[in-house]
Amino acid sequence: MTEVQTPPAAVSAAAGPSVKRSRWREAATGWLFVLPFAVLLVAFLLLPMAYAFKISLYRSTLIGGEVFALFDNYKQAIDDPLVREGVVRVLVFGLIQTPVMIGIALLAALLIDAATSRFSRIFRLAAFVPYAVPVVIGTLMWGFLYSDSIGPFSGLGIDFVSSDTVLASLGNIVTWQWAGYNMIVLYAALQGLPREIYESARIDGAGEVQIALRIKTPMISSALILATLFTIMGTLQFFTEPLILQPLNPGAITQHYTPNVYAYNQAFSFQQYNYSAAISFLLGAVVFIGSYIFLFATRKRSALR
């Protein structure tokens, strides 16, 4: 018997509807998985941002009510010396605190990666625990420690929340809170490196310090830059720690201590919602520009583009 060959075009035409249905089901399944996140993103981020941008273009007056002011609120925020003072303060804070925290996180990650004992897991957990503590609770704990009346360091005669020391005290809180998180990020990157490279370096006579500085650290540059980028973004949005510690010394931690604190007080203390929204969007622009400059400056050292 002669076998009848079915033309490929006929097979393709017959299978076409089933293939299309299969692809449609796959696409629908994917969208169903994405849908909860998309709904939350739109409802709790995009719509509030759109509304905040809208009210930032208006100005509240006693006689006319809400009046369209276009970018007058933004011009006022740019000319506001209190806004500029807060921006300069968080920039100085970030320039000092970010390298310190990333350096501590990198050192901890390298030490734990080099450790071969069974206690390395305990060390990882101990370094990560502060990140698991909510920021508000952690700041309240440090507020008790900084107290000059009931704190355990009250006998040292050091005012940790004075005008001269409060920025360093806040930097200590932020470092304690986030160093463990960055350490986990860097440690995970170190765990992905091939161990054969270390053995080759040891055969060539390299010590553990040389391996850490000349092999491990350059090979996790992408993770280092990513952790630094997140730290910069968080530093420029500095808010919770100064707001919680403000009652300890309102003269040192003022209502305009950082741009976020200033925007918060403008909205909820003085009911200047339009101006507060404008300050918030200006701060967002500063965060975006600062992050872009950092990525542009480090683009040759990592795979981030």
Total domain count for the chain? 1
Tokens of 113: 């990666």
Alpha-carbon distance of 286 to 236, in angstroms, equals 8
Domain that holds residue 271: 85-303
Residues, the chain: 305
Residue 167 corresponds to which amino acid?
Answer: L
pLDDT score recorded for residue 1: 47
Domain assignment of residue 115, yes or no: yes
Domain assignment of residue 47, yes or no: no
pLDDT score recorded for residue 202: 87
Residue 244 corresponds to which amino acid?
Answer: I
Q: How confident is the model at residue 302 (pLDDT cuts 50, 70, 90)?
A: low
Provide the CA 35 distance to its chain's centre, in angstroms.
25
206 in Cβ contact with 268 (< 8 Å) = no
Predicted confidence (pLDDT) at residue 158 exceeds the cutoff of 60: yes
Domain assignment of residue 23, yes or no: no
Angle between helices 120-132 and 81-114 (to 10 degrees): 160
pLDDT over 70 percentage in the chain? 91
Domain assignment of residue 21, yes or no: no
Q: What average pLDDT does range 203-228 have in this prediction?
A: 90
Element (H, E) at 27: helix 8-41
Dihedral of alpha carbons 140, 268, 286, 90, sign: negative
Alpha-carbon distance of 250 to 258, in angstroms, equals 13
DSSP 278-298: HHHHHHHHHHHHHHHHHHHHT
Domain assignment of residue 196, yes or no: yes
Domain assignment of residue 33, yes or no: no
Residues 6 or more apart in contact with residue 274 via CB below 8 angstroms: 55, 56, 58, 59, 60, 69, 73
Strand partners, 67: 59
Domain assignment of residue 29, yes or no: no
Q: What average pLDDT does range 87-103 have in this prediction?
A: 93
Predicted confidence (pLDDT) at residue 151 exceeds the cutoff of 70: yes
pLDDT score recorded for residue 207: 87
Average pLDDT, the chain: 87
Q: Which of 299, 292, 232 is nearest to 98 (CA)?
A: 232
> Coil, helix or strand for 58?
strand
Q: How confident is the model at residue 123 (pLDDT cuts 50, 70, 90)?
A: confident
Domain assignment of residue 126, yes or no: yes
Question: How many C-beta atoms surround the C-beta of residue 229 within 10 A?
Answer: 18
Q: What average pLDDT does range 213-229 have in this prediction?
A: 92
pLDDT score recorded for residue 203: 87
Residue, of 168 and 148, whose pLDDT is higher:
168
- CATH for 232: 1.10.3720.10
